[in-house]
Amino acid sequence: MFKVKIDGIETEAAPETTILEVANRELVEIPTLCFNDNVEPRGACRICTVEVEIWGRKRLVTACNYPIRGDIVIDTKSEKVMKLRRLILEVLLARTPKSERIQELAKKYGVSQPRFTVEKTDDKCIVCGLCVQVCRDIVGVSALSLSERGILRKPETPFDEASSTCIGCGSCVYICPTDAVTMIDKDGKRFFPRWKTEFKLVKCESCDNLFMTDAQIKYLKKVMGKDDPCLHYCPNCLALFKK
């Protein structure tokens, strides 16, 4: 175990524990955007940056993916940290002025008017890449990728057209930290405006609730290598059958 001091709190951590894990355990708040427990942390947004001191040397690191590999002193609210956090929020606020999540964080850290040109856009995407990661690493279909470079970088389907590999599972909607991906279930169909993709919803054979897309059922059948009750009945009915 290594000795850890975080915002004055003395504790211990096993090798490879991340700073964010220690902070959560000790109830020290560190803001996150691109971090989600279900996928590998990439340190993309840098909002979780903290200042660490190792062997007497100080540096800024991202808490969500920094593994503890020795005794360490962590300051989550140093002057440098707060300055950087505010700068990141200024950039994000200028880029996604309609994002409630970013507005909320900006307010919390005292950022009101960004010094950068505020874009005239309704897009709430902060290009964190979580939708791309979940689709590739958890769902396993890689329907999305981050295209272009710099300011034009964004998540999209190949050629920004309706994807032939997307199965309409909605994982990208649930994981997006800023609600930049939406999913509309209407008239027996599921539509993803951002991905320009539409699916037919299938009814549970017991309660008639629309519970999955036809593409999801086809994909799961292939992955499981068999037809299975979970492809015919919704989770609620399956739970009732098991009782």
Asked if 143 touches ligand SF4 (CB under 6 A), the answer is yes
Smallest gap from Cβ 171 to ligand FES, in A, equals: 19
Q: Which two tokens stand for residue 149?
A: 């470079």
Cα–Cα distance between 90 and 84 in angstroms, integer? 10
- Binding residue for ligand FES (CB under 6 A) from 52, 64, 88, 166? 64
Q: Which is nearer to ligand SF4, 67 or 188 (CB)?
A: 188
Q: Nearer Cβ to ligand SF4, position 25 or 164?
A: 164
Instruction: For the segment 175-204, give every residue that binds ligand FES (CB under 6 A).
Output: none
Q: Which of 48, 61, 155, 211 binds ligand SF4 (CB under 6 A)?
A: 155
Q: What angle do CA 221, 239, 213 make, to 5 degrees?
A: 35
Residues in region 40-59 near ligand FES by CB under 6 A: 43-48
Q: Which of 47, 81, 106, 135 binds ligand SF4 (CB under 6 A)?
A: 135
Q: Which does 202 bind (CB under 5 to 8 A by kind): ligand SF4, ligand FES, none?
A: none
Rounded CA-CA distance 165/148 in Å is 21
Q: Which of ligand SF4, ligand FES, none does residue 81 bind (CB under 5 to 8 Å by kind)?
A: none
Q: Which residues contact ligand SF4 (rule: CB under 6 A)?
A: 125-131, 134-135, 139, 141, 143-144, 155, 166-172, 175-176, 178, 180-181, 195
